[in-house]
Amino acid sequence: MNKKISKKWKAGILFFLLIGFLMSMTFIRLPYFAFKPGSVNELSRRIVVSEGRSFEPSGEFHFTTISQDSSINGWEFLEGTFKESVHLIDEDSILGTRNRDENQTFNFELMRVSKSTAVSVALSHLGLEPYKATGVGIASVGGPSEGILTTSDVIVAVNKKEVFTDQDLITEIRGHEPSEIIQLNVEKIDGSDPREISIELGSREDEPSVAFLGIAPQTRIEDNDDLPVQVLVNTGRIGGNSAGLALTLSVLDILTPGELTGGFQIATTGAIDLEGNVGPIGGVEQKTITARKAGMDLFLVPENSLEKAKKHAGEMKVAEVAHLDDALTVLTDLGGNGDSLELPKN
């Protein structure tokens, strides 16, 4: 009788331990982010040409996302440990000194900058100047300018001659001698408080015969509102900067006649800078799986990501690119018009 009771007690204890284990695995929260395959997002419907002509493409550029779970339990941790399509990263590596809300805001800001950069790169490729230089800002002040100029000032003229870039200012200063007094037209960064000031030039310590203003100049850049086209991009509540290349290509496709995609469905991932360089991103494996499952014909990835992408691409074609020009070459080889993009004549 006692043995039977003992066995029942053991079975009961084991049962409750199992229930406790299952509950702990379900409700425990571990300090990791889980990244999984996400979605592909077509871009043509997200791009609005408010001024100038636009062209509806037959193919489509898509940017890829990953699904991010920022609060995982024990089961999800096990899934990420053994499942190749899930990538676990500890939260300190993701958040750094930011909290979760700050991290979300940071990623939205990355997307905002990415959109602006992508549009600028596309317009520059089409021969337009999306930005214009409007004066010379000041990164630091010293020497003869100390106490007269501040980092909130912008120099717009030297002795009545306009200066638009830092190189313009350097050229003007080099045209004078040490101890000369020059007149500067100055305003605040936002264009307010215009005024004229006088400064006696100093001389460089390493070259005493060369005039020295004592500031670190940097060109003030503003949006050029005089362009024949104006483009807006709406990416909703999606953050990060990995859509940069896709945005650039889609803007080029919509603003120009012909088919940049060659009529195919193209997915891409990769950040882009103002020089058109395509930068690395995370989650290549998850994004490749996403693009493959969505039936994409081609997936463009940043340089040095090709091998990771090919492991999950299946029959989908994958190409790596280091610059916008590389992407246009790949698309031209696919049958698109990447080598002959032009704005319409009228």
pTM: 0.71
pLDDT above 60: residue 238: yes
CB atoms within 10 A of CB 98: 12
Query: pLDDT by residue (tens digit) across 276-318?
Result: 999 988 889 999 999 999 999 999 999 999 999 999 999 999 9
Spatial distance between the Cα atoms of 52 and 228, rounded to a whole number of angstroms: 6
Q: What percent of the chain has pLDDT over 70?
A: 81
What are the backbone angles phi and psi of residue 221, rounded to the nearest 5°? -110, 135
**What is the model's pLDDT at position 83?**
67
pLDDT above 60: residue 324: yes
Query: pLDDT by residue (tens digit) across 145-187?
Result: 999 999 999 999 999 999 998 999 999 999 999 999 999 999 9
Report the pLDDT averaged over residues 247-253: 96
Domain segments of the chain: what residues? 32-130+227-334, 131-223
Spatial distance between the Cα atoms of 220 and 135, rounded to a whole number of angstroms: 5
Residue predicted with more confidence, 237 or 74: 237
Domain spanning 131-223: which CATH class is it, in words?
mainly beta
Spatial distance between the Cα atoms of 1 and 4, rounded to a whole number of angstroms: 5
32-130+227-334 is classed CATH 1.10.3470: no
User: Measured between alpha carbons, how far apart are the two ends of the chain, in Å?
Assistant: 99
Beta strand residue intervals within 128-180, DSSP E: 131-141, 153-158, 161-162
pLDDT above 60: residue 2: no
